[in-house]
Amino acid sequence: MSVEILAAGPMLTVQDAGRKGLRRFGVSTAGPMDGPAMALANALCGNASDAAALEFAGMGGRFSASCPIRFAVTGGDCDIRVEDRRVLPGESNRLNPGETLKVGAMGDAVWGYIAFAGGIDVPPVLGSRATHLRSGLGGFQGRALRVGAILPLGEDKTVDRCLRLANPLAPEAGGPIRIVLGPQDDYFSVDIIARLTQTEFTVTPQRDRMAMILAGAELPAARGHDTVSDATVPGSIQVPGSHQPMVLMAESQTTGGYPKIATVITPDLPRLAQLPVGARFRFAVVSREEAEEAVIARARTLRARLADLQAKPEGVLQSEYLLSCNLISGVFVSEEFVS
């Protein structure tokens, strides 16, 4: 059982929930840029939330499978086709041998996920299948996927049904990206801390799985931009000598020597990651307690959502399918009506 890459969008990598507990050895967590989206893709395929799936930036690629499988695409609105049949993101669908799955451009998001039932079964490295591009660790040969790569799939032990959410996903609430000040906010004057929340920031093209560099306001540190290196977390907002803040993301290094003015709260980090280049947003300071409450609430919501998947009716004509068909030009064989 395997999946072959027939065309690869940029930054197509194998990711799972990430490497745990190894930051003290210099090993980045890696894992998804949008963890809840990847967990949903896995759940729609009946996989555990830490199963390995594909992450892509902007555009997915083309794929074929050696056996009949189910797959799901999440992250945002996306043009997904099996041959010429359009299927929806946010639900699982079937792919048969000989068919090509095409995952096009994300309309409203940056990072997308393609899960396959059984999960991608590349060998774990240091306890995880996540690709860490900078150190060439894990995933498929430690690198982004290119045409011709063949990915082994794990055994699919679940009931072979296609799933979808019982209730469609509500659009992600907008509003400011919430931060907790520190740990080195004392490197900055009161005025500069105020600038952090009073100015609109812009997502620049200098972004990858490691960090996002922001434009819009300069944040000079009164006590300088070199500290004795200490540990970082995904969400740390470092301010280097350029005075341009840099938010560390999933693949960030584990330690850094720039003062960290604040930390993006865990539930808002995927939302920041999904903002396109040029998007403008503001930061809002919340207390650590408020941030913890938000983490707990988000975790409960996500668990409830993943527990509330329902089997898709199959073998009947679905309106999405009809809408995607060219009803004028031809006759369909009956198998094609099974979405």
Partner 1 sequence: MMRLMRGMAEAVAPAFLPCGDSALVLQLGDCIDARVNADIFAIAAAVDAAAIPGLVEIVPSYRSLLVRYDPEIIRGRELEQRLAGFSRPGEGAGKKGRGWSIPVVYGGEVGQDLEEIAAMKDLSPEELVSLHSSVEYRVFMIGFAPGFAYLGGLPPILHTPRLQKPRQYVPAGSIGIGGQQASVNSVAGPSGWRFIGWTPIRVFDPQRAAPFLLAGGDRVRFTSIDPEAGERLAARAAAGETVIEPEEAA
Q: Which residues sit at the interface with partner 1, rule CB under 8 A?
A: 20-27, 125-126, 134-137, 180-184, 227-231, 233, 235-236, 253-255, 260, 263-266, 288-289, 291-292, 294-296, 299
Q: Between 21 and 241, whose beta carbon lies closer to partner 1?
A: 21
Per the structure block, which two tokens stand in for 201?
Answer: 């920031």
Q: Between 86 and 134, whose beta carbon lies closer to partner 1?
A: 134
Per the structure block, which two tokens stand in for 43?
Answer: 């759940």
SS3 of residue 180 by DSSP: strand
Instruction: For the CB of residue 244, give the shortest distance to partner 1 in the complex, in Å.
Output: 19
Per the structure block, which two tokens stand in for 221?
Answer: 């540190």
Instruction: For the CB of residue 141, give the shortest distance to partner 1 in the complex, in Å.
Output: 13
Q: Between 134 and 143, whose beta carbon lies closer to partner 1?
A: 134
- Give the integer Cα–Cα distance in Å for 297 and 267: 9
Per the structure block, which two tokens stand in for 175?
Answer: 């509003």
Instruction: For the CB of residue 101, give the shortest distance to partner 1 in the complex, in Å.
Output: 32
Q: Between 103 and 181, whose beta carbon lies closer to partner 1?
A: 181
Token pair 């079937």 is found at 94
Instruction: For the CB of residue 194, give the shortest distance to partner 1 in the complex, in Å.
Output: 19
What radius of gyration, in Å, describes the C-alpha atoms of the chain?
21
Q: What residues contact 77, with CB distance under 8 A and at least 6 apart?
A: 89, 106, 107, 108, 109
CB 263 within 8 Å of CB 237: yes
CB 262 within 8 Å of CB 180: yes
Instruction: For the CB of residue 17, give the shortest distance to partner 1 in the complex, in Å.
Output: 13
Instruction: For the CB of residue 137, give the shortest distance to partner 1 in the complex, in Å.
Output: 7
Residues β-bridged to residue 86: 81
Q: Between 71 and 187, whose beta carbon lies closer to partner 1?
A: 187
Instruction: For the CB of residue 103, give the shortest distance to partner 1 in the complex, in Å.
Output: 31
Residue 80 — φ and ψ, nearest 5°? -125, 130
Q: Between 74 and 238, whose beta carbon lies closer to partner 1?
A: 238
Give how far Cα 247 sits from Cα of 151, 204, 337, Å.
32, 12, 47
Instruction: For the CB of residue 48, give the shortest distance to partner 1 in the complex, in Å.
Output: 18
DSSP 102-135: EEEEESS-SEEEEEETT-B-PPPBTTB---BTTT
Q: Between 108 and 290, whose beta carbon lies closer to partner 1?
A: 290
Q: Between 287 and 310, whose beta carbon lies closer to partner 1?
A: 287
- Give the integer Cα–Cα distance in Å for 123 and 80: 28
Per the structure block, which two tokens stand in for 327?
Answer: 């009803």
